[in-house]
Amino acid sequence: MTALQIPNITLNNGTSIPQLGSGVYLVAPGEAEGVVSSALEAGYRHIDTATIYENEAEVGRAIASSGIPRDELFVTTKLWNSDQTRAAEAFDESLDRLGLDRVDLYLIHWPQAMFGEALGAWKSLIEIAESGRASAIGVSNFEISDLQQLLDETGVVPAVNQIELHPLHQRRELVAFCAEHGIAIEAWGPLAQGKSDLFERPEILAAAAAHGKTPAQVVLRWHVQQDRIVFPKTTRRERMLENADIFDFALEADEMAAIDAYEAGTNLGPDPRTFDVR
């Protein structure tokens, strides 16, 4: 199985992460192993899962059966909200389900400031990183105030912040804060989860026609030209290959600006400031 030619981004602790990955959020139980196997066969080497996805074991089986050397893979999983006070134990449980002795990136899944537990969880993640069992640590869905607390209290900067980000919800202030502090942005829902008219908008259609690409490829290119890491969700091999075919062209400045102009503050997922599911 030949790896796709996907660029790496260097995180703030020197860890290299492939800029395009395969995520298994909302992949039905019993399907994740096949989806990850297909992604690995297609040439993906970056897999993103989480405890709450309930498919870590399937991801682990696909990795084990792939025969791909561990050091050629980048595996991310996440600490669920109800586990923030027992992060060390939860991490061990994730490793057991994955069948791995380390992950490449471990994230706190949601900040849940209303419970006040994220800082303690972050301190546990720091210890996990120091043990060598997570090459890098970071957060997901954190707002500026959540990030500032971690920086003020520990001085340890998250390697990444994985957030909902797409042309309709660009999070510019948060992105600027992360850039200022060397925190890489991972975009989940980068294509607006198929819940918008993005792919019918004339500017995207024009760019797609000009470059011989699909509207989805144009949107993904808009992301990667801004040095973001992306996880476009799909269970279909042909779409996996299409999503990866975005590194042989570049959008012009006016094409980028046209997509920038779509900013509407439209989040399609939960609001991180109020999300309290545990």
Residue 236 backbone dihedrals phi, psi, to 5 degrees: -105, 130
CB 76 within 8 A of CB 103: yes
CA torsion sign for 8, 186, 183, 92 is negative
- How many beta carbons lie within 10 A of that of residue 152, not counting itself? 9
Provide CB contacts within 8 A for 5, sequence distance 6+. Answer: 247
Catalytic residue among 44, 53, 106, 262: 53
Scanning the structure block, which residue is given the tokens 């640590």? 137
- β-strand pairing of 8-10 with 16-18: antiparallel
Which pair of tokens denotes residue 28?
């039905």
Provide CB contacts within 8 A for 154, sequence distance 6+. Answer: 119, 122, 123, 126
For 132, 198, 205, 209, 212, the CA distances from 275, given in Å and listed in that order, are 31, 26, 35, 40, 40
44 annotated active-site: no
Give 269's DSSP letter.
Answer: S
Tell me the DSSP string of 5-55. ---EEE-TTS-EEESB-EE-TTPPTTTHHHHHHHHHHHT--EEE--GGGT-
d(CA 253, CA 262): 15
Which residues are designated catalytic?
Answer: 53
